Amino acid sequence: MKLTLKLFLGFFLFAILFSACSQEEVFEVINEPKTIIDAAYGNDEAQKADIFLPEGRSQADTRVLLIIHGGGWYTGDKKDMDKFVSTFQSKLKSYAVVNMNYRLVTFSPVRYMLPTQTDDIRLVMDYMAKNASDFGIKPEFVLLGLSAGGHLAMLYSYKYDKAGRVKAAVNIVGPCDLSDDAYKNNFIFNLGMNYITDPAHLPSGMSQSTFGSPVHWITRNAPPTISFYGNTDKLIPLSQPSTLEQALNQYNIPNEKYIYPGGHTEASYDQSDDIVAKTVTFLTTHVR
């Protein structure tokens, strides 16, 4: 009788384990690479993205690197990031790469930065998630941006990523604190402060510069962040990387910063190979 009971319990446990294993989803591996140029993720002419899907991809583990160009929020184009796209394709083969355009700030008629440009980031992510099965990707994202794009990558990651889809942020010479004293006498930034968001939408008592500053929105839920700056950058003062580091450290968010000799261009496009290499190592360590 005892032997029969043991056999029954053993069979029962085996059945449970077999059932659990059999219910695990098995994803197809897609061996052929695929490129889609100017995929429309929205109805506006500017809402286009280039999608680069690697060979051997699968919904099980092929995340998405989403690249956001710079240009002061009112100029620029995804083609400006082609050098980064090609380098990441060769060095980060386990990721799909998406290089996006977005709706730019306009002065007449007025189109504000927020939430227009962060909405576009979300729409690209929604588009990739909707097509995850066909594309063979896992809808988890690393946001990488340069200059204004770096600002947007951080701001979206810290403030707007309510679903937790962003697993890391990569900031290349992007401003993190628009209320920095170094910007008070900068004509270009002072002009831009008027176009961050509709003043009617600002929380009571909050300035445009605070509302648009990524560091203001950092919480314990912020993703790991790696940043790159130049030590003589006339657009992004050297106070910015220290401010960002302190804010992330306050919540024990994994972060790294690298300071290159030179200005805005020298610390971004000219250092693209090193930036990619350090980013790949960072993602391998912090994105599981």
pTM for the model stands at 0.91
How far is C-alpha 253 from the chain's CA centre?
16
Confidence of residue 24 (pLDDT cuts 50, 70, 90): low
The answer on pLDDT for 205 being more than 50 is yes
Residue 167 CA to residue 226 CA, distance in Å, equals 12
Task: Indicate the CATH number of 27-286 among 3.30.379.10, 3.40.50.1820, 3.40.50.1000, 1.10.579.10.
Answer: 3.40.50.1820
Residue 175 CA to residue 235 CA, distance in Å, equals 9
- The residue ranges of every structural domain in the chain are 27-286
Determine the pLDDT at residue 11: 54
Model pLDDT for residues 58-93, shown as the tens digit of each residue: 999 999 999 999 999 999 999 999 999 999 999 999
Q: Are strands 166-172 and 141-146 parallel, antiparallel or unpaired?
A: parallel
Return all residues near 104 (Cβ < 8 A) that are at least 6 apart. 46, 71, 73, 74, 75, 76, 111
Higher pLDDT, residue 271 or 13: 271
